[in-house]
Each structure stands twice: as structure tokens, then as C-alpha cells.
Amino acid sequence: METDLIFNQGLDLPGFASFPLLKTTKGRDLLKGYMEDLIALGQETDTGVILESPTWVASRDRGAAIGYSFSELTKLNHDAIAMMSAVRSDSGRAGTVISANIGPREDAYAPATQMNPDQAERYHAEQIAVLSETDLDVISGYTLAYSSEAIGMVRAARQFSLPVVISFTVGTDGQLPTGETLEQAISKVDAATDSYAAYYMINCAHPDHFSTRLEGAAWMLRVKGIVANASRCSHAELDEAEKLDDGNPTELGAQLSDIRRRFPHIQVLGGCCGTDMRHMKEIATAARTS
């Protein structure tokens, strides 16, 4: 959504934050439009729908970097889920899942420092505590670059007895930006949290970057979602991009469908950087035939 807003609709999103859109009628209408389109696509293709909240960087440090106090962030986290709950209610699709999206404390692609699990738990528990007061269905930690932060997120969600999904990002080499493999990261998180996470995902990477790393091993059974980039660019290239690389929607749908054929337990598919509703339609349509 954010790359579409920036590159295709000309919006300025400081800090890559979409939560400020909740402050205006125009912004809320834009956010609701994405969610309504996804629900309509789910109806059209007879697939389930997970709505991700615009709260990926609505935590203390990321919010402060663009001028928001924690009290303001608290209200906006609440407003985000309330808006989503209303959209779901108006749609009549009660089974639509509301995912409270939280992101890393630092740069998802190149964190300057790494927290230990205790530090990460304290940091993320603050936002999760706020979100726990809402009508969410699941906490989803997206675009994580190292296992210690993921451990902290999972522990924080467990404090509030909330289900949690962890999604790691990988580079063009199929490894996390900090050098861990997916197997290592998932195994570390599960070992440190008694496998509390509902499941794991991969996001913000093109299928070409990780598909050959997926294998028929026990850890792979914990990976149940892929939210892929349309672009084959590296993280560094995406950071510097002045023009949207939207890839090939049909090709992306086919690639994700192929992954699902190889690993039928993968049930969650979606689009990340460079994608829009064209890609989502191809993904949903292709997934039905895999």
C-alpha cells in the first residue's frame, strides 16, 4: 500500500508511515479504499482476507522520529483498528481477519544496532499493550531483520495472550539482512518462546531471492505465508528508487502459486513493495488453481 501511495498517488509518507493518514477524512478514505478493495477481491475469488493495519511504524521511536508523541500514537493505533473493524462490519464478511501490524524498531533492511530479546520485549510490549485494547484478531510483526527482535515481539504478544505472526525479510541472497538464514532465525525464535508464534512468513523480498532456499525440512512447516515484492531490486536499491518498479503482476502471481504447489501448507499470500490491486488479483486468482 505504502509504495502505491508514494509512487502512484503522489503522497508524501515521512518515515514510510501511513498511520498519519488516519488524521484526515481524505486519508481515512484512502485507507478504507484499500481494505474495501481487498474484501471485494476476496468475495470475487472466494478467498479469505487478512487486513493489515497502517501501524507498522506507529511505535514510540519510529513515531518520535517523525514528530509524534506516544499519546498521539496511542490514539492512532486505536483509531486504525476501529476503522478496520467498521470496514469489516460494513462488508458483512465476519471472517475477515484484522491484523495489527507492527514493525522493527530500526531500519528493517539495515538496523544500526540489535536489541537483545529482553530489550525487544520491553520496546514492543508498549505498542502491543495499546493494540490489545482493540478489536484485533492477531499481532503481525513484519519485515524483521534478526531473530532477537522477533523473540521479543513474540514474548510481548504472549504477555497479553495474543496470537502473533512473525514475518522475516531477506536479501537477494535469501538470508536475513543480519546474516541469519531463515532456518536459523525460525529455529531460534521457536526455541526461545516454546513455539508460541502461530506461524512465520517471508515479506519484502521477490520470490527469486528466496524460493531456492525453501526446502522440505521441519522448519519449513512453520512458514505459512509469503508477502512478496513485485520488484527484484535489492533493499538498498529500493531505498534509493525514485520510480516504482512494479514488476510483472501475472508473473508474480504464477511464482507464488508455484511456491504454494511445492508447499501446500502455505496458506497466506500477498503483495509487498511495488504491488497494487493488479498484483493482488493475479495472486488470488493463481492461488485458487495451485
31-51 pLDDT, tens digit each: 999 999 999 999 999 999 999
**What are 219-249's pLDDT values in tens digits?**
999 999 999 999 998 888 877 777 878 999 9
Mean model confidence pLDDT for the chain: 95
Q: Does residue 194 carry a pLDDT above 80? A: yes
- The structure's pTM equals 0.96
Residue 94: pLDDT band (50, 70, 90) is: confident
Higher model confidence: residue 243 or residue 165? 165
* Cβ atoms of residues 11 and 62 within 8 Å: no
Long-range contacts of 238-247 (CB under 8 A, 24+ apart): 238/109, 238/273, 239/109, 243/7, 244/3, 244/4, 244/6, 244/7, 244/8, 244/274, 245/274, 246/274, 246/275, 246/276, 246/278, 246/279, 247/206, 247/274, 247/275, 247/279
Report pLDDT for 185.
98
Report pLDDT for 158.
98
